[in-house]
Amino acid sequence: MPLSKVIPCGWTLPEVEKFDALLVGSANAFRHGGEKLEALTHLPVLAVGQATAQAARDSGFKVARSGVGGLQSILDQSAGEFQKLLRLSGEEHVPLCPPDNVQITDRIVYRIGTVDLPEEFADELSMGALVLLHSAAAADHFSSECNRLGVNREKVSLCALGPRILEPVGEGWQDARAAANPNENDLLALAIQMCQG
């Protein structure tokens, strides 16, 4: 049951010759960036993780670096190599602190819209469920929907991609844990562990 949907945004293409790399924190930038991406395929990509890197490759880009510790760590590691970055992101994105010699230009290429949970799904949740959460916005929306629908939190366990994702959900859940590292493999490993426990 999805909690959100991706909505492409109209965005303007900057003067591409001013940049030496793309900085991308989500595969959604490549999936929903539209035709303008074709003008950027010559730029190497600094990708937040493996899923984003693969989406870049699938869209015809070459990946210079992909990480596991978030965009800030990739930015820090790449400071001596790339100085003028074009960041393609969603409307809600993590703030970054670029090194002194690095300039970042932002372009919002998509936004996340929420999806209301149907009332019949609330009954299923109240019988016991494990919910995977990939963002703080999704977690906040899920928590609000549970309040709206009267879901018994004591029957619901939360499995999050990272610790900050759990901050907006409040108390009263059967269990709430974050993956050891912010990637799909660790998230699914934690989900399996929680189901078996």
Q: Tell me which residue of 112, 67, 183, 185 sits closest to 23, measured CA to CA.
A: 67
Task: Compute the distance between CA of residue 151 and CA of residue 143 in angstroms, rounded to an integer.
Answer: 9
What letters, b where the CB count within 10 A reaches 16 and e where it falls short, cover 161-196? bbeebbebbeeebeebbbbeebbeebbeebbeebee
Q: Tell me which residue of 9, 42, 24 sits closest to 86, measured CA to CA.
A: 24
27: helix, coil or strand? coil
Task: Compute the distance between CA of residue 98 and CA of residue 104 in angstroms, rounded to an integer.
Answer: 8
Cβ-based neighbours of 166, under 8 Å, separated by 6 or more: 133, 139, 158, 160, 176, 178
Q: Please check the confidence at residue 77 and state whether its pLDDT lies above 90.
A: no
Q: What is the average pLDDT score of the chain?
A: 93
Q: Please check the confidence at residue 24 and state whether its pLDDT lies above 80.
A: yes
How would DSSP label each residue in 46-62? EESSHHHHHHHHHTTPP
pLDDT value at position 29? 97
pLDDT tens per residue across span 122-158: 889 989 999 999 988 899 999 999 999 999 999 999 9
The answer to whether the beta carbons of residues 86 and 43 sit under 8 Å apart is yes
Q: Tell me which residue of 56, 25, 34, 30 sits closest to 134, measured CA to CA.
A: 25
pLDDT value at position 70? 82
Q: Tell me which residue of 27, 32, 24 sits closest to 7, measured CA to CA.
A: 32
